[in-house]
């Protein structure tokens, strides 16, 4: 069966219906990662998405690409917020991936107004990417965000070729707030967390739901050849959702709705400086990231900070999904305590 490729907005890149998400290969050996990435390419996947923040993911992908003569489009991201920081990160990504040019480069997780203003200021990250583009180091400038209102503002600037937003059957806010505007501006959409960041109990159904939309390209994370083959098979066998599947989606939504964080950060700021959306999704981090990564650096600091939660409750009053945040913080701190012990 011939696969109908998807045009990634104004980039005019023709993409296989799913991209390869590069988070989970951090958890497996280099040898395994190379096999997984190569199997994905062999089966037709031609867009690989990774980030500077995913520890050795870029390096593993770079090694997997050695000797591959098929065109594979690469997408990476950086948390650099200034012009110089992100420009240096583009150079680091090029070295890690072993290429002379990266097709798509994102400012990673621009989730709030303050960050948006910073990255778009004259010394901000956007201008670092523009410089990289002018020098031929990247082809397209992109941005990822977990916040649909910020996504709208970013698209309206008309400065981005691709936007990456969360989309799965629990997080559907982008359908109304992001997709129509992106289409109007011909901005390509990569749908991150198509399986809810690994926590939705029926991942195949979750991906099937996202694949119903022809305009967006989901990038499920994959860490085994079996997962790659299953996801590609789903693309080949795609069909409309059945009545039973729709009922199952409703059931899961009802079950998970009260604990599922959309990472929108409307609950911020927390007076204790707690990264609420990170901590209450600890299970997703545990599933996708290596333990050593969580025991080190940024994540561990966030865990320690979360222990200082005073249960003041101010965050819960701001959450549009009425999540019982203080209880979720307590529960996830306990979970992390046991896991990281």
Residues that bind ligand SF4 (CB under 6 A): 261-267, 270-272, 274, 276-277, 309-315, 319, 321, 323, 325-326, 329
* Nearest distance from C-beta of residue 49 to ligand SF4, angstroms: 22
CA-only gyration radius of the chain, Å: 19
Give the length of the chain. Answer: 341
Nearer to ligand SF4, 165 or 329 (CB): 329
Nearer to ligand SF4, 108 or 263 (CB): 263
Task: List C-alpha distances in Å: 139 to 103, 151, 199.
Answer: 5, 21, 33
**What is the spatial distance between Cα 170 and Cα 255, in angstroms, rounded to a whole number?**
10
Nearer to ligand SF4, 120 or 309 (CB): 309
* Nearest distance from C-beta of residue 319 to ligand SF4, angstroms: 3
* Nearest distance from C-beta of residue 273 to ligand SF4, angstroms: 8
* Nearest distance from C-beta of residue 308 to ligand SF4, angstroms: 7
Nearer to ligand SF4, 29 or 320 (CB): 320
* Nearest distance from C-beta of residue 111 to ligand SF4, angstroms: 9
* Nearest distance from C-beta of residue 38 to ligand SF4, angstroms: 36
Nearer to ligand SF4, 139 or 330 (CB): 330
Residue 152 neighbours by CB distance under 10 Å: 16
Tokens of 72: 């594979």
Nearer to ligand SF4, 206 or 277 (CB): 277
* Nearest distance from C-beta of residue 183 to ligand SF4, angstroms: 25
Nearer to ligand SF4, 216 or 309 (CB): 309
């Amino acid at each position: 069966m011939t696969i109908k490729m998807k045009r990634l907005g104004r980039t005019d890149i023709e993409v296989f219906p799913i991209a390869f998400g590069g988070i989970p290969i951090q958890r497996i050996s280099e040898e395994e990662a190379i096999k997984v990435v190569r199997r994905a390419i062999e089966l037709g996947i031609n867009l690989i998405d990774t980030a500077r923040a995913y520890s050795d993911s870029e390096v593993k992908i770079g090694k997997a690409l050695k000797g591959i003569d098929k065109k594979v489009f690469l997408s990476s991201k950086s948390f650099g917020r200034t012009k110089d920081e992100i420009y240096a990160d583009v150079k680091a990504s090029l070295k890690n991936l072993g290429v002379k040019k990266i097709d798509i480069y994102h400012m990673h997780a621009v989730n709030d107004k303050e960050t948006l203003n910073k990255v778009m200021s004259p010394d901000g990250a956007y201008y670092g990417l523009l410089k990289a583009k002018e020098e031929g180091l990247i082809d397209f400038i992109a941005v990822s965000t977990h916040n649909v209102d910020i996504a709208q503002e970013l698209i309206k600037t008309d400065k981005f070729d691709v936007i990456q937003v969360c989309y799965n059957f629990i997080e559907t806010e982008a359908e109304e707030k992001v997709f129509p505007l992106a289409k109007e501006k011909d901005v390509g959409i990569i749908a991150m967390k198509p399986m809810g960041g690994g926590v939705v109990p029926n991942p195949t159904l979750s991906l099937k739901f996202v694949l119903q939309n022809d305009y967006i390209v989901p990038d499920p994370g994959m860490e085994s050849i079996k997962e790659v083959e299953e996801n590609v098979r789903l693309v080949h066998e795609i069909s409309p959702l059945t009545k039973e599947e729709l009922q199952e989606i409703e059931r899961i939504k009802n079950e998970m709705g009260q604990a599922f964080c959309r990472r929108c950060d409307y609950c911020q700021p927390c007076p204790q400086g707690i990264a609420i959306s990170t901590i209450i999704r600890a299970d997703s981090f545990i599933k996708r990231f290596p333990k050593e990564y969580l025991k080190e650096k940024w994540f561990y600091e966030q865990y320690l900070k979360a222990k200082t939660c005073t249960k003041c409750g101010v965050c819960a009053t701001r959450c549009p999904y009425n999540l019982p945040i203080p209880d979720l913080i307590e529960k996830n701190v306990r979970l992390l305590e046991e896991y990281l012990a």
